[in-house]
Amino acid sequence: MIFNTWVYGVFLTCFFVFYWIVPPRGRMAALVVGGLVFYTYYLPLHTVLIVGLILATYGLGAVMDRLRDQETGAGMKGVFTPKTVLVLSLILCLGVLAYFKYLPLLAATFDGLILLLRRGAPYQLPDIVIPLGLSFFVFEFVHYLAEVYKGSVPRGSLCEYAAFGMFFPTLVAGPIKRFQPFLDQLRHPAPFKLEFLSDGLYRILLGLGKKMIIADSMIYFTGPLANPLNAGGADYWVAMYAFAIKIYFDFSGYSDIAIGSAKVLGIRVPENFDRPYFQQNIAVFWNKWHMSLSSWIRDYLYIPLGGNRGTLLFTLRNLIMAMALCGLWHGAAWNFVVWGLYHGLGMSLFRVYRKKGTALINIVEKLPALPVKIVSVLITFHFVCFGWVFFATDLPTAFQFLSLVFSF
């Protein structure tokens, strides 16, 4: 189901009544059933996939737990260790993600090389329908497996884990939630409060307004991003600003609907946006934009790569690699990779400035605070806007668009 449809409105209303009628001990199962109905409506075959992944990742997590207990008790390691099972688990999850989302990109790249070299026949790829919300629930499963490996989450039952994986408000577009905070709410369900309904409906209506009134209306101004040669003058800047408005209100609107839908059920999920366009540097922007993804990238990509535990060059490498993978997560096309590299380069330059630009920092700190803040916000906002051009269209068109912007 898609949030901004009447079908979802009817579904959420019916489920809200059902959920609060069911006794507290049955609400966990109700969430599983609700998630199955919600997901099956889109494409029944893909429900088999997500159910299979839930069973597989839960089982592999249980194996990791048992192996850790055996190692602790016997003080010895066998052929299969928790780390081995973790690697197999990640291969499973990321393999499913790669097959459905990135195989077409690999095939298209391969075909491009064949065409360039004029050798061989193009690879014929069957039509692949990407499961709804695949990137989001795979990242949640990866988080769970990594935390089980570290021993930092309590053991949950299969029903608890299924409720976590099938929680329909966050299933399609996030926010990417964490297992332990969600499990705590499952095990200590809140009694119904009228504020759940009022606060939840407010967030849902706010999200619908953002999406349908503001974001959707920006489509009338973003045309030059797809056809730069059919525009001129200020149209390029209007299109770029309009897309920045569109993508923020579109995505934050969906997040508001998800947060509100969870709220009417008495469940809290992470916030996803906090005035990102009003931040003074690109690092803080990423702490405020798509916050559940940013924290996931930090915890499960940037830090495992080494984080900032090393030389400055080592840190910059990790930043660029993490942001390139962040871009690839957003879409299976090279323009998304370039968008990620662009932000990785921006964050790297800012890191160099903070580490090596002491003289310039001292000069800036002596200037009046308000003008410095305004200029910093404007610079950061425009850096992000130029990056959105790579996000909005393919690489040749993006470079063509930017060349016309700067020539104007």
Q: What residues act catalytically?
A: 330
In the three-class reduction of DSSP (H, G, I as helix; E, B as strand; rest coil), residue 268 is classed as coil
- The H-or-E segment that residue 369 falls in is helix 369-392
Handedness of CA 39, 43, 49, 51 (dihedral sign): positive
In a 13 Å sphere around the CA of 52, the CA atoms on its Cβ side amount to 8
Burial class (CB in 10 A: 0-12, 13-18, 19+), 260: buried
Nearest alpha-carbon partner for 203 in 254, 251, 274:
254
71 Cβ contact partners less than 8 Å away, ≥ 6 residues apart: 77, 81, 82
391 Cβ contact partners less than 8 Å away, ≥ 6 residues apart: 247, 330, 335, 336, 339
Handedness of CA 145, 147, 148, 150 (dihedral sign): positive
214 Cβ contact partners less than 8 Å away, ≥ 6 residues apart: 245, 246, 249, 253
Nearest alpha-carbon partner for 177 in 272, 243, 99:
272
Residue that the structure tokens 């974001």 belong to: 215
C-alpha span between 85 and 382 (Å, rounded): 45
C-alpha span between 341 and 140 (Å, rounded): 24
Tokens of 350: 């800012």
C-alpha span between 190 and 188 (Å, rounded): 6
